[in-house]
């Protein structure tokens, strides 16, 4: 579809305002929010990722494209969230220590909110200690960690280990994800759930919270 490829192209050029307008126009013309996300925004970001990998573009271009992606996501956010029901429980989410990538994490947050989950967003560069303290303070059931770098993935293991040290391992479900993360990695660090994308992360979180009567820590 023409609008979707225009969204992808303008995202790659970093034209945040144009992306915003095109996303709104796509919604107005009846294209589903999920389709706009997948075939417009994410498809543009994929191309950026490949060019970055091949050294065809550099960090500044990627940052500008990322800003355009965020602008587009902002327009989609209320639409993706509107199917949600009242709060079904709480999740603490963040990108792990040393890692500043937040687009995927924001997408996971958005999808979870769309399922009526209350999400406490700790942002990026979040230490294991902060994840746990925030989960305790907010009465969250789930700690959700995102990592985009192979060098920062080990921070996820620290979350699991620190929970064990504090005698809190059974009080929280630890969910992990991000481009370099795999099911095998999840098993190796003893986290509870790995999901490859934002939609399935929201599905899994929703199932876990539905299985609990309340959202206080045992």
Q: Indicate the residue among 28 and 192 with the shorter CB distance to ligand B1M.
A: 192
Two structure tokens written together for 154: 């080990």
Candidate residues 48, 110, 122, 134; the one interacting with ligand B1M per rule CB under 6 A: 48
Q: Is 195 in the site for ligand B1M (CB under 6 A)?
A: yes
Burial of 187 (0-12, 13-18, 19+ CB in 10 A): exposed
Neighbours of 175 (CB within 10 A): 25
Question: Distance (Å, rounded) from C-alpha 31 to C-alpha 46?
Answer: 21
Residues 136-165 within binding reach of ligand B1M (CB under 6 A): 144-146, 148-150
Two structure tokens written together for 144: 């959700």
| CB 138, CB 170: distance < 8 Å | no
| CB 139, CB 171: distance < 8 Å | no
Minimum Å gap between C-beta 46 and ligand B1M is 7
Minimum Å gap between C-beta 198 and ligand B1M is 3
Q: Is 206 in the site for ligand B1M (CB under 6 A)?
A: no
Contact footprint for ligand B1M (CB under 6 A): 42, 45, 48-49, 52-53, 59, 62-63, 66, 98-105, 107-108, 144-146, 148-150, 175-180, 195, 197-198, 201
């Amino acid at each position: 579809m023409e609008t979707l490829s225009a969204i992808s192209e303008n995202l790659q050029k970093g034209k945040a305002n144009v992306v915003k307008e095109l996303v709104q126009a796509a919604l107005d013309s009846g294209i589903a929010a999920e389709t706009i996300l997948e075939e417009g925004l994410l498809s543009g970001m994929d191309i950026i990722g490949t060019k970055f990998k091949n050294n065809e573009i550099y960090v500044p271009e990627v940052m500008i494209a990322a800003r355009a992606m965020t602008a587009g996501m902002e327009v989609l956010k209320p639409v993706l969230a509107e199917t949600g029901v009242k709060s079904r429980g709480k999740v603490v989410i963040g990108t792990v220590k040393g890692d500043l990538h937040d687009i995927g994490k924001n997408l996971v947050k958005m999808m979870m909110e769309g399922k009526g989950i209350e999400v406490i967003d700790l942002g990026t560069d979040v230490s294991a200690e902060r994840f746990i303290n925030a989960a305790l303070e907010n009465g969250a059931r789930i700690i959700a960690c995102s990592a985009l770098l192979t060098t920062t993935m080990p921070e996820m293991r620290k979350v699991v280990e620190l929970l064990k040290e504090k005698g809190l391992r059974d009080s929280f479900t630890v969910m992990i994800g991000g481009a370099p993360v795999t099911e095998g990695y999840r098993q190796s660090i003893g986290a509870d759930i790995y999901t490859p994308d934002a939609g399935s992360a929201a599905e899994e979180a929703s199932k876990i919270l539905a299985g609990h009567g309340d959202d206080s820590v045992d």
